[in-house]
């Protein structure tokens, strides 16, 4: 019997766990709310002790891969969008794992891209990919992740990027007004401040203030639902702004990387938009680069609709580099 590997995808909101019982086969997939556990080790222990995980061989786990929404520099990890902090080596020792490999979540997601098929993706405009070209990746959730893949003689090399923290660049008067509103709260307004779950709330409050309306105290999920159902004019405008801003960011990434291998979008927000993103100004703004409009019009954009793509990338990383530590 093959000893299962523990795979974990840790975001600012949810911690996703699974056991890979054979190559590409996931068992005991479970999602735990980060706020319900004091630290990562507590959530990991709760998962490993669950009946479903134990039935899939959790007691035998020796090799672990963790993708986390955070830069990884050495042994100590302090999450940017959550309070969890931990020592990689301390957790490895505590659980008596033989190996514990920790990577940025978008590094893992990037490594999944070559393994995704048409059923796991939805194309939003463009033509076909160019073989042997760079691939760009971004995704909005609790934060804004950015990465990519660069082809090399030894296969794909993932980028360890923190591109979500680049300064937000407005493209019209409405976005200038949103930026000015955000400056009242933040000295530096990164793109992540707006293209994320908290960003949806910030855009909502900014638009309400611009229209002299009182903003409801609602979460990003409610803004998303009201906007999609056209139950709230401001919420609908939030989605329009979000998609256009995302189009600009995706286009910036495409020209920066020369990503003729395509731009991929993950995260928790965009897949929930469904067909709305095709009807929005996303693609127009993606291509809106003056002399490079034609260049961008050829580049396809793919929304990742596979529910657990980070697990696929972690599996690929552990296969190719089984002793990878804190990449």
User: Which residues are CB-contacts of 198 (< 8 A; sequence separation ≥ 6)?
Assistant: 142, 220
Question: What is the model's pTM?
Answer: 0.89
Region for residue 311 given its phi and psi (left: phi exceeds 0; alpha: psi -120 to 50; beta: otherwise): alpha
The answer to whether 246 and 140 are in contact (CB under 8 A) is: yes
List, in order of start, the domains of the chain with CATH numbers.
5-110+308-320 (3.30.420.40), 117-305 (3.40.367.20)
Predicted confidence band at 1 (pLDDT cuts at 50, 70, 90)?
low
Across all residues in the chain, what is the average pLDDT? 93
Predicted confidence band at 321 (pLDDT cuts at 50, 70, 90)?
low
Q: Residue range 147-175: average pLDDT? A: 93
Tokens of 181: 């509103």
pLDDT in tens, 72-107: 889 999 998 789 999 999 999 999 999 999 998 889
Predicted confidence band at 326 (pLDDT cuts at 50, 70, 90)?
very low
Predicted confidence band at 322 (pLDDT cuts at 50, 70, 90)?
very low
User: Which residues are CB-contacts of 112 (< 8 A; sequence separation ≥ 6)?
Assistant: 306, 309, 310, 311, 312, 313, 316
Predicted confidence band at 122 (pLDDT cuts at 50, 70, 90)?
very high
- Whether the predicted pLDDT of 210 surpasses 70: yes
- Whether the predicted pLDDT of 46 surpasses 90: yes
- Round to whole Å and give the CA distance between 188 and 168: 9
- Whether the predicted pLDDT of 324 surpasses 60: no
CA 163-192-160 angle, to 5 degrees, is 25
Burial code (b: 16+ CB inside 10 Å, e: under 16) for 129-138 equals beeebbbbbb
pLDDT in tens, 212-246: 999 999 999 999 999 999 999 999 999 999 999 99
- Whether the predicted pLDDT of 119 surpasses 50: yes
pLDDT in tens, 298-312: 999 999 999 999 999
Q: Residue range 46-63: average pLDDT? A: 96
User: Rounded to the nearest 5°, which phi and psi values hold at 32?
Assistant: -115, 140
């Amino acid at each position: 019997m093959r000893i299962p590997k523990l795979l974990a995808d840790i975001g600012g909101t949810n911690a996703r766990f699974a056991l890979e019982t054979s190559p590409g086969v996931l068992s005991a997939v479970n999602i735990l709310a980060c706020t319900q556990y004091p630290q990562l080790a507590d959530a990991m222990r709760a998962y490993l002790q669950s009946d479903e995980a134990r039935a899939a061989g959790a007691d035998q786990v020796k090799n672990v891969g963790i993708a986390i929404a955070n830069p990884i520099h050495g042994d100590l990890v302090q999450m940017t969008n959550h309070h969890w902090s931990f020592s990689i080596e301390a957790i490895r020792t505590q659980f008596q794992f033989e190996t514990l490999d920790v990577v940025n979540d978008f590094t893992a997601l990037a490594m999944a891209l070559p393994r995704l098929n048409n059923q796991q993706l939805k194309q939003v405009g463009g033509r076909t990919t160019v073989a042997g070209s760079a691939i760009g990746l971004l995704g909005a959730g609790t934060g804004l992740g950015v990465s990519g893949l660069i082809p090399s003689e030894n296969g794909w090399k993932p980028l360890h990027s923190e591109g979500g923290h680049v300064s937000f660049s407005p493209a019209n008067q409405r976005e200038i007004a949103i930026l000015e509103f955000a400056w009242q709260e933040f000295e530096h307004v990164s793109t992540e401040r707006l293209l994320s779950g908290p960003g949806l709330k910030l855009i909502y409050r900014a638009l309400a203030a611009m229209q002299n309306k009182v903003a409801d105290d609602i979460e990003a999920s409610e803004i998303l639902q009201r906007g999609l159902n056209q139950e709230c004019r401001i919420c609908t405008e939030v989605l329009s702004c979000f998609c256009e801003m995302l189009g600009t960011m995706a286009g910036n990434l495409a020209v920066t990387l020369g990503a003729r291998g395509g731009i991929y979008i993950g995260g928790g927000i965009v897949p929930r938009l469904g067909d709305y993103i095709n009807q929005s100004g996303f693609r127009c703004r993606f291509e809106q680069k003056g002399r490079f409009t034609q260049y961008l019009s050829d580049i396809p954009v793919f929304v990742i609709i596979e529910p657990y793509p980070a697990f696929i990338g972690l599996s690929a990383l552990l296969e190719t580099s089984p002793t990878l530590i804190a990449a």
